[in-house]
């Protein structure tokens, strides 16, 4: 509640507001999302960004067999439909997706070897779970991990794709770390 209030106060100062809507698992499709955006866009309001907490919580708008045959096909359809919504409304959609089991194993190995703050070196684009189309369609993709050794807790963010930059290898990708208030906290330090 405190964080929501802080965000809303900051937005209000700039003449903006946030609207948070909750729906059940796969209750809404990408077509529903487009209609929700349309319902908020009027002469007084304009949707400027959408934050979808997890890509698998929405269904594709398409219902044909090619879009719903399996999880990979669904993710491909969802990503392409979200990309179309971005284009139609000229807004970003920020969402989350899982990394694969190999990524978890690699991070665990790095941590076991004392490299809790080097997890970015273990993670790359190949660690995207289920559907490579998630990486192909996204304009920007970042890998996120919480690094915590009990004394220091950092949020690691590694850019894995940025469409306007030619980054054909992981060696060109950079990572940043931002500290949490404490190892027990989920709040980031203000810098």
pTM confidence score: 0.82
pLDDT in tens, 131-142: 888 889 999 989
**3-state SS class at 39:** helix
**Half-sphere exposure at residue 49, Cβ-oriented, CA atoms within 13 angstroms:** 9
Length of the chain: 191
**Percent of the chain, pLDDT > 90?**
48
Q: What is the pLDDT of residues 18-61, one digit of tens each?
A: 888 999 999 999 999 999 999 999 888 899 999 998 999 999 99
pLDDT of residue 121: 87
Which long-range CB contacts under 8 A does 61-70 form with residues at least 24 apart? 61/29, 61/30, 61/31, 61/32, 61/34
> Taking the alpha carbons of 75, 104, 125, 144 in that order, is the dihedral positive or negative?
positive
Closest CA to 177 of 166, 161, 163, 188: 188
Euclidean distance between CA atoms 171 and 187, whole angstroms? 30
Determine the distance from the C-alpha atom of residue 47 to the mean position of all C-alpha atoms in its chain, rounded to a whole number: 18
Q: Higher confidence at residue 10 or residue 186? A: 10
For 102, 130, 145, 171, the CA distances from 106, given in Å and listed in that order, are 6, 17, 12, 17
Q: Among 89-98, 100-109, 122-131, which stretch is predicted with the lowest mean pLDDT?
A: 122-131
């Amino acid at each position: 509640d405190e964080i929501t209030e802080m965000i809303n106060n900051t937005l209000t100062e700039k003449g903006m507001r946030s609207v948070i809507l909750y729906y059940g698992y796969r209750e809404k499709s990408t077509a529903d999302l487009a209609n929700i955006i349309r319902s908020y866009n009027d002469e007084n309001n304009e949707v400027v960004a959408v934050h979808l907490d997890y890509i698998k919580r929405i269904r594709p708008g398409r219902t044909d067999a090619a879009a719903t045959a399996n999880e990979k096909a669904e993710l491909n359809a969802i990503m392409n439909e979200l990309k179309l919504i971005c284009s139609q409304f000229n807004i970003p959609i920020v969402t989350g997706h899982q990394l694969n089991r190999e990524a978890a194993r690699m991070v665990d190995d790095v941590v076991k070897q004392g490299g809790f703050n080097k997890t970015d070196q273990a993670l790359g684009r190949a660690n995207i779970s289920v559907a490579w189309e998630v990486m192909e369609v996204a304009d920007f993709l970042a890998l996120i991990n919480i690094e915590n050794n009990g004394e220091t807790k950092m949020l690691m963010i590694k850019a894995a794709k940025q469409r306007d930059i030619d980054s054909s290898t992981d060696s060109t990708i950079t990572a940043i770390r931002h500290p949490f208030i404490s190892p027990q906290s989920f709040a980031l330090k203000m810098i």
